[in-house]
Amino acid sequence: MLTYLARRFGLGVVTVLVASVLSFLLVHASGGSPGVITAGEGATKAQIAAENDRLGWNRSLTAQYATWLTHAVRGDLGASLIDGHTIWPDLTQRLPVTASTAVFATLVSGVLGILPGVLAAVRGGRLDRVITTLSGITLSLPQFWVGIVLVYVIAVKGRLLPATGYVAFTTSPSQYAQSLTLPVLALGLTGAAIIARTTRAGMVNALQQEHIRTLRALGTPAWRIRYLHALRFAGAPVVAVLGVQFIALFGGSVIIEQLFALPGLGQAAQNAINTHDFPAVQGVVVIATVVVVATNLVLDLVLATLDPKVRAA
Amino acid sequence: MSVSTEPIQLPSPAEPSTRRRLPRGLRRPGTIVAGAWLVLVVLASATARWWTPFPAEHQDLGQVLGGPTARHLLGTDELGRDIFSRLVAGGWISIGPALLAVAVAFGVGVPMALLAAEHGRRAEWSCSRVAELLLALPTTVILLAFVGSVGVHVWAIMAVLGLLLSAPVYRILLALAQSLRTRLYVDAAKVNGVGSLQVNLRHVLPGLATTIAVQAAQLFALGILIEAGLAFMGYGPAVPTPSWGGLIGDAQQHIYDDPWMMVPTGVVLALTVIAANQIADSLAGERERTAPVRKPARRSGRFVPTAVRPSAVVTSDALLEVRDLHVGVDDGPELVSGVSVRIRPGTVLGLVGESGCGKTMTARSLLGLLPDGVAVTEGSIHFGGRDLVGLTERELQAVRGREIAMISQEPMVALDPMFSVGYQLTRPIRRFRGVGRREARRTALDLLAQVGIVDPQRVLRSHPHELSGGMAQRVCIALALTGSPKLLIADEPTTALDVTVQAEILSLLRSLVRTSGLSVVLVSHDLGVVADLCDDIAVMYAGQVVESGTVTAVLDDAAHPYTGALLSANPHIPQGEEVPDRLPSIRGTVPAPEHWPDGCRFAQRCALATARCHEPIEAAPAHRDGTVRCIHPLSTATTVAPSEPGAAR
């Protein structure tokens, strides 16, 4: 188990390094240069060259990457080319916004997804068909479109919640909740549909297992068979998909943050891209990869506690 | 944009020969509609410039943000452009890049999987590490970083997406390709000198076809969503060109003054993704599609009791008596027709016959544990003074484990892999015996010792995957004993085990019968095992008992030609006899239930069959206490004149 985790951790570190190299190379392959941006519009070639020189752009690639890396491990991701603010504190300030939406959306998709999925598998018949069809439609809807519809129905027509904006939890917990409800719903509904599908398939499969027949042959009460044994058997894939979803939601937040004007990582990514703020792009890629890697590690741990076979591996 | 791919149900790899016809899923109306929609969208979009009412970029500033009218079917946008025309024109630029992503994903993923499956551990290791890495990268952010440094090039972005998606493609196909390569026909092709490329193209790839199709449809749906998401954020085709994501982006700007704008594009986009997912679902197959319908415990009408016959009084000395049992598939053929057997206390009854003769169905009906869609349609099962047929699920639950228990064919999968042996044993012990945790644990240890486990403490702590097959079967037997049942149903308890372990399990069963007075129904196709262990025997063929009686009587003096055939096909050669060069086998196979004839069901495989055999034949008394269902018996066992047909014994 420990070696397994160590191996996964090692892979995680490698992944983050590869992501940083990739983004580093992308930046250099793009043909642009940071001097163009820092020197401002209408700068002469000489001015741009001087800026590039100052930023170390003309040094060898390995030297530049080494410098970046030694700074990065100390939490220094450099400064923005646009306004010179340091990137690390900016991103860490934005992290809670994106993390809030992703965590709550994952919770929503778990809660709204597992119940109908179990019901569909256990009841079968018409209820199963209704749930399967509904989830099939819901998971096909683009999240940003669901978001717009929600804004229109709940914020514009219903005036129940604010359409856009973000209020920090520390400022006002209730407004924080209000500002997150719509984005979380927009992300969580499609997630719930996917979870419902996964849960249903897992439960149907679980209930056909031989060990379930053993339990029935022992006269085990039906509720115990379904909600303890079958659900636990079906649990591992559901948890895995929830983890994948959390990761996807973290990435998907880019669009939702634009739609709801949330000052999260996604917004930072978009700003960086639109202004060709190379260090910021690199910073976002690295932070996002770290989140993905960390999530995967947590997922491995959870799966190990769920499944004794994994634990032994 | 969700980059989660729903775990794909692996359809069992189709052998190449089953490929020819269109999968049944594709022929269903929903799928046809879905396919037609996709084709329609692509065709309409490709030909848009010739038939849409307006060019996509045509502006009419007198008609801004108009709702649907006869002139503008779906209304106009903020520049007075016709939404319908833009929607149709934008179809290709929304779908094409998604197709490219799918093509790249499979163009990279499939060869990688085939290579890794073919070239053994080294190649697999490196391919898998690359895939793991790609999987761990945050897809959206990488795409955005690409946009940020290289610029907005829709097709290039989607090609990068395809590259990232090749990792999940690889992962799923690798497992499948590896299992396909272990198939015998692939080995045969390799031995015959078929080239590696040929093996892959002719034997492995066809087996992957269904999975590839399912995944392609799913990734296509995902690709459309991602492309639309990027376009929505402004990373789509350059400004005047319409794309669906871009159109929704425009609509978002006018959510206050023209909410209608978001409807047409959203619906068309959603329908397209639904269509792709629908195709994926139906390709993924029937297997996973339907959850079993839970039936409210045995509705009246499902089973019509054959009237309350006064003759149905249980013969006093039998522990369990099955009379005229019929088991059938709902709206389908009968699987068991008219089986009558009885089990005396403290004895072992062997149910023997080839596969597909209804032995397992008969055994399972004793516990009311028939598969979904299969039910007892007629007959009675008398046990402990009542008829088990017609009991409610709740009443049966009280019988299961406490009075009748079962051990199964495959011990390795019969225990819950998620729970420790200790938990699985103590739970039923506490329920059956009403004892506390500690007492239950002690009982569990006793039971494990009773079934011959040397280190009960350790086994109690282990999980099923840590046990060997023989140990697992011992644990299963201990589990079956937790409720101190009077009858144990053992369905081929040793088939899945090694020969040496088989003997151990059999002797364990024998000693249990001897020491605890347990009765056993042993389902087996091994006459040697039956001769060894059983007191009585019922030979089943095609859903009927063709011969029954005590083991000594039936095996020493077989009357039914089928029993005779089974005996001569049995490899246990008595000592002193010559070993034949070639073991005789019974020609032909057991017919499928829907082809069971009215007359003797064995007639078409029987050397003695005459014209009369094709008329219905009743079981006649034989072997003193048993029956035989034959008019050309091999022996003189049927000394009693067959004058009382119908009287089962």
How large a percentage of chain A has pLDDT more than 90? 18
Q: Which of B290, B308, B334 is the last residue before a domain boundary?
A: B290
The whole-number pLDDT of residue B571 equals 67
- Quick check: A229 and B418 CB within 8 A? yes
Instruction: Give the pLDDT confidence score for residue B7 in this predicted structure.
Output: 41
- Give me the domains of chain A, ranges plus CATH numbers: 93-264 (1.10.3720.10)
Q: What is the pLDDT of residue A312?
A: 66
B543: region left, alpha or beta (phi > 0 left; psi from -120 to 50 alpha): left
CB B355 within 8 A of CB B590: yes
Contact B137 A141 (CB under 8 A): no
Question: b/e string for B360-373 if b means 16 or more Cβ within 10 A?
Answer: bbbbbbbbbbbeee
Position B26 confidence tier, pLDDT thresholds 50, 70, 90? low
B218 touching A, CB under 8 A? Answer: no
Tens digits of per-residue pLDDT, A202-257?
Answer: 999 899 888 999 999 998 998 999 999 999 888 888 888 888 888 888 777 788 88
Higher pLDDT, A111 or B203: A111
Which structural domain, as residue segments, surrounds residue B121? 46-290
- Window 415-454 of B: residues touching A by CB (8 A cutoff) are 415-420, 427-428, 431
| Cα-based distances in Å from B336 to B489, B533, B633 | 17, 25, 23
Optimal mutation site among A57, A146, A148, A220, interface B, most CBs of chain B within 10 A: A148
Q: Which of A141, A148, A200 is opposite residue B291, by nearest beta carbon?
A: A200
Q: What SS3 class is residue B81?
A: coil
What whole-number distance in Å separates Cα of residue A196 and Cα of residue A241? 11
Q: Is the pLDDT of residue B184 over 80?
A: no
Q: Which residue has the higher pLDDT, B406 or B63?
A: B406
Q: Does B231 touch chain A (CB under 8 A)?
A: no
Cβ-based burial of B96 (10 A; exposed 0-12, middle 13-18, buried ≥19): middle
Whole-Å CA distances, B467 to B349, B412, B413, B422, B475: 29, 8, 11, 13, 9
Token look-up 């634990």 returns A311
Do residue A137 and residue B274 have CB atoms under 8 angstroms apart? yes
Q: Spell out the alpha helix ranges (H) of B119-153.
A: 120-136, 139-150
What pLDDT shows up at residue B296? 41
Is the pLDDT confidence value at B56 over 60?
Answer: yes
- Measured CA to CA, the distance from residue A29 to residue B515 in angstroms comes to 82
Torsion of CA A231, B4, A141, A195, to 10 degrees: 10
Give the pLDDT of residue A270.
84
Q: Please report the residues numbered 472 through 501 in chain B whose beta carbons come closer than 8 angstroms to any beta carbon of chain A.
A: 476, 479-480, 482-483
Cβ-based neighbours of B6, under 8 Å, separated by 6 or more = A139, A194, A197, A198, A241, B218
Q: Decide if A201 and B292 are in contact by the 8 Å CB cutoff.
A: no
Q: How confident is the model at residue B297 (pLDDT cuts 50, 70, 90)?
A: very low
Kindly state whether residue B84 falls inside one of the protein's structural domains: yes
CA–CA gap between residue A140 and residue B150 (Å, rounded): 30
Say yes or no for a CB contact (<8 Å) between A254 and B140.
Answer: yes
Using DSSP, state whether A213 is helix, strand or coil: helix
Cβ A26–B415 below 8 Å, yes or no?
no
Extract the tokens encoding A203. 């439960």
B278 vs A: CB within 8 A: yes
pLDDT, tens only, A105-122: 999 999 999 999 999 999
Whether residue B511 contacts residue B331, with contact meaning beta carbons closer than 8 Å, is answered with no
Shortest Cα–Cα distance, B197 to chain A (Å): 33
**CB B418 to CB A308 under 8 A?**
yes
Q: Is residue B56 assigned to a domain?
A: yes
* Pairwise CB contact (< 8 Å): A145 & B259: no
* Contacts with A297 from chain B: Cβ below 8 Å: none
Check: CB of residue B616 under 8 Å from CB of residue B598.
Answer: yes
CB contact under 8 A, B248 and A148: yes
**Contact state of A124 with B294 under an 8 Å Cβ cutoff:** yes
State the smallest CA–CA distance between residue B148 and chain A in angstroms.
Answer: 4
In Å, how far is B127's CA from the nearest CA of chain A? Answer: 14
Q: In residues, how long is chain B?
A: 649
Residue A229: per-residue pLDDT: 92
Contact (CB, 8 A) for B622 and B559: yes
CA distance B353 to A296: 52
Please tell me the predicted confidence (pLDDT) of residue B135: 82
CATH of the domain at B187: 1.10.3720.10
Which of B239, B268, B290 is where one domain is finished?
Answer: B290
What is the spatial distance between Cα A112 and Cα B439, in angstroms, rounded to a whole number? 41
Q: What would the two tokens of residue A198 be?
A: 């996964």
| A25-to-A120, B164, B225 alpha-carbon distances in Å | 48, 17, 28
SS3 B621: strand
**And the tokens for A4?**
């397994």
Residue of B4, B161, B272 best to disrupt the A interface, most CBs of A under 10 A:
B4
- Asked if the structure places residue B422 within a domain, the reply is no
Nearest to B401 among A200, A218, A249 (CB): A218
- d(C-alpha B44, C-alpha B52), whole Å: 9
Of A152, A250, A289, the CB nearest to B255: A152
Residues of B whose CB is below 8 A from A197: 6
Whether B586 is covered by a domain: the verdict is yes
For residue A244, the model assigns a pLDDT of 84
pTM of structure: 0.82
Mutating which of A211, A275, A285 best tests the B interface, going by the most B Cβ atoms within 10 A? A211
CA A98 to chain centre: 8
Interval B590-600 mean pLDDT: 86
String of DSSP letters for A111-144: HHHHHHHHHHHHH-HHHHHHHHHHHHHHTTS-HH
* Chain B contact set for A26 (CB, 8 A): 145-146, 148-150
Residue B354 pLDDT greater than 50, yes or no: yes
Are B3 and A190 inside 8 Å of each other by CB? no
Which of B101, B105, B104, B110 lies closest to B173, judged by CA? B110
DSSP 8-state assignment for residue A225: I
Counting the structural domains of chain B, the total is 2
Q: Looking at the domain assignment, is residue B591 inside a domain?
A: yes
pLDDT at B574: 58
Residue A160 confidence (pLDDT): 82
Question: Which DSSP string do the residues of A140-163 spell out, in sequence order?
Answer: TS-HHHHHHHHIIIIIIIS--S-S
pLDDT for A200 equals 93
Q: Band the pLDDT of A34: cuts 50, 70, 90.
A: confident
How far apart are alpha carbons B471 and B453 in whole angstroms? 7
Q: Where among B290, B305, B331 does a domain terminate? A: B290
Residue A86: its H or E element? none
For residue A68, the model assigns a pLDDT of 86
Whether residue A215 contacts residue A131, with contact meaning beta carbons closer than 8 Å, is answered with no
| Domain-embedded: residue B223 | yes
Q: Do A251 and B133 touch (CB under 8 A)?
A: no
Report the pLDDT value the prediction gives residue B570, as an integer from 0 to 100.
72
So what's the pLDDT on residue B440?
94
pLDDT at B138 exceeding the cut of 90: no
Half-sphere exposure of A230 (CA within 13 A, CB side): 30
pLDDT per residue as tens digits for the range B467-500: 998 899 999 999 999 999 999 999 988 888 888 8
Quickly state the pLDDT bin for B22 (edges 50, 70, 90). low
**Does the distance separating the beta carbons of B465 and A143 come in below 8 Å?**
no
Predicted pLDDT at B612? 85
> CB A211 to CB B367 under 8 A?
no
Kindly tell me if the per-residue pLDDT of B637 is higher than 70.
no
**Test the A interface: residue of B416, B420, B491 with most A CBs within 10 Å:** B416
Interface test with B, best of A215, A218, A254 (most B CBs within 10 A): A218
Contact A218 B479 (CB under 8 A): yes
Residues A252, B281: C-beta atoms closer than 8 Å: no
- Lowest-confidence pick of A264-273, A283-292, B54-63, B594-603: B54-63
In Å, what is the CA distance from B481 to each residue of A27, B162, B400, B406, B447? 69, 56, 11, 9, 8
> What is the pLDDT confidence band of residue B448, given thresholds at 50, 70 and 90?
very high
CA nearest neighbour of B623 among B610, B632, B636: B636
A87-96, A175-184, B302-311, B335-344: least confidently modelled range: B302-311
Q: Does B368 touch chain A (CB under 8 A)?
A: no
Asked if the model's pLDDT at residue A154 lies above 90, the reply is no
Q: How far, in Å, CA of B398 to CA of A218, rounded?
A: 9
Does B590 score more than 60 pLDDT?
yes
| CB contact at 8 A, B583 and B375 | no
The candidate with the shortest Cα–Cα distance to B4, out of A136, A307, A251, is: A251
CB-based contact A309 B463, cutoff 8 Å:
yes
Q: Among the listed ranges A17-21, A142-146, B584-588, which one has the minimum average pLDDT value?
A: B584-588
In a domain, B228, yes or no: yes
Over residues B3-32, the mean pLDDT reads 52
Is B156 inside a domain boundary? yes
Strand partners, B303: B300
What pLDDT score was predicted for residue B49? 79
